[in-house]
């Protein structure tokens, strides 16, 4: 307990003595973590978008021409139900489509009441039981007369998955780069304290103090810098992201039918990541700065 108390006391004393450099280090690492959080937020929202689209990927919707009759639509439905891989098919009127659109718009749905005519088409919805046959079913649907357009999500899902993969790789590269820079920043801060205590460290080694006993206060000082930086970055990220969700969250859902990731989920997901990064950066920065003096 005495060793632990000494380590904590000494680390806070060193932090206070080096306050200006500590604040500069915290500011620099916080900025780096904020840049990293930007990529995390983008990657997480793209992942959610991909999963949302995947949920609708089990259906193909055939938008019908205005002069396509219900009898012709029924013939399409009957034919599609005979196709391998189709679990169900049904007719959706333009009235039903508008009602669904209003529901997606939520509180802004009343804006659609001002429309003089319903601009949405009647459609046939095909539910896919076997996704591996989705491409063949979409191609088969193209042969029907009376179809104006086909709503099929596969290409969108593929693009979103590629974008997600790219964002993950980019985030990893940037994360490694920022961690290296952060370690250097912490290392330089700790070095100032080490230089100031060089004689004291030499005496401690001479009287038999172990390397880890000497490292202790410096490790804790580095951890303090890293954790404070992570906490500040997480707080700023949460506040700014919450404001963004409040400003454009409903509009994004209305236009794309995809919700933005909730702030609470974002903070709970990345809170421990930021905390772990802060501790790791502080420890590594301290260890690097002590190598010369402890010959390790």
At residue 248, does pLDDT exceed 50?
A: yes
Say if residue 76 is exposed, middle or buried (CB neighbours under 10 Å; 0-12, 13-18, 19+): buried
Which residues, including other chains, have CB under 8 Å from residue 210's CB and lie 6 or more apart? none
Q: How far is CA 14 from CA 167, 190, 196, 215, in A?
A: 40, 9, 10, 13
Query: What's the token pair of residue 148?
Result: 């104006």
- Residue pLDDT, tens place only, 139-180: 888 888 888 888 876 666 677 667 777 877 877 788 788 778
Q: List beta partners, residue 149.
A: 63
- Residue 93 makes CB contacts below 8 A (sequence gap 6+) with 122
- At how many degrees (to 10) do helices 70-81 and 134-141 cross? 150
**Tokens linked to 163:** 């974008």
Provide mean pLDDT across the span 117-141.
Answer: 83
Give the residue with greater pLDDT, 231 vs 274.
231
Q: If DSSP codes are grouped into helix, strand and coil, which group holds residue 123? A: strand
Distance of CA 65 to the CA centre of its chain: 40
- Average pLDDT estimate for 68-97: 88
In terms of residues, how long is the chain?
296
Region 107-136: mean pLDDT is: 76
**CA dist., res. 82 & res. 62, Å (int):** 17
Classify the phi-psi angles of 261: left when phi > 0, otherwise alpha if psi is within -120 to 50, otherwise beta: beta
Q: What domains appear along the chain, each with residue ranges and CATH number?
A: 2-53+157-294 (no CATH), 58-152 (3.30.70.3040)
Reply yes or no on whether the pLDDT at 92 is more than 50.
yes
Instruction: Sort 194 into a burial class: Cβ within 10 Å, 0-12 / 13-18 / 19+.
Output: buried
Mean pLDDT of the chain: 77
Look at residue 201 in the predicted model and tell me its pLDDT: 67
DSSP 162-201: HHHHHHHHHHHHHHHHHHHHHHHHHHHHHHHHHHHTHHHH
What is the per-residue pLDDT across 37-55, written as a single tens digit (0 to 9) for each? 887 787 777 777 766 666 6
Pick the more confident residue, 163 or 5: 163
pLDDT of residue 296: 43
Weakest mean pLDDT among 17-21, 80-84, 99-103, 256-260: 256-260
| pLDDT tens by residue, 182-230 | 777 777 776 766 676 666 667 667 777 676 676 777 777 778 888 888 8
In the chain, pLDDT over 90 holds for what percent of residues?
Answer: 3
Which of 221, 225, 223, 218 lies closest to 197 in space, CA to CA?
A: 218
């Amino acid at each position: 307990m005495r060793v632990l108390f000494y380590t904590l006391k000494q680390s806070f004393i060193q932090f206070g003595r080096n306050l200006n450099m500590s604040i500069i280090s915290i500011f620099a690492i916080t900025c780096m973590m904020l840049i990293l959080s930007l990529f995390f937020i983008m990657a997480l929202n793209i992942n959610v978008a991909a999963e949302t689209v995947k949920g609708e990927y089990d259906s193909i919707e055939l938008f019908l021409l205005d002069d396509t009759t219900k009898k012709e639509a029924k013939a399409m439905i009957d034919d599609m139900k005979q196709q391998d891989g189709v679990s169900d098919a049904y007719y959706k009127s333009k009235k039903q489509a508008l009602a669904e659109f209003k529901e997606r718009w939520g509180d802004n749905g009343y804006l659609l009441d001002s429309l003089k005519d319903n601009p949405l088409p009647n459609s046939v919805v095909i539910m896919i039981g076997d996704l591996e046959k989705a491409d063949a079913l979409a191609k088969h649907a193209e042969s029907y007369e009376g179809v104006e357009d086909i709503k099929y999500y596969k290409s969108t899902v593929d693009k979103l998955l590629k974008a997600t993969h790219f964002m993950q790789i980019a985030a990893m590269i940037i994360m490694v780069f920022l961690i290296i820079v952060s370690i250097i920043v912490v290392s330089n801060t700790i070095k100032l304290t080490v230089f100031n205590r060089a004689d004291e460290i030499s005496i401690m080694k001479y009287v038999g103090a172990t390397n880890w006993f000497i490292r202790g206060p410096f490790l804790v000082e580095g951890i303090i810098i890293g954790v404070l930086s992570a906490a500040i970055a997480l707080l700023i990220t949460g506040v700014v992201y919450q404001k963004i969700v409040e400003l454009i969250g409903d509009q994004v859902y209305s236009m794309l039918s995809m919700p933005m990731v909730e702030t609470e989920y974002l903070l709970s997901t990345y809170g421990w990541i930021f905390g772990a990064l802060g501790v790791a950066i502080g420890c590594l920065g301290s260890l690097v700065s002590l190598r010369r003096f402890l010959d390790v």
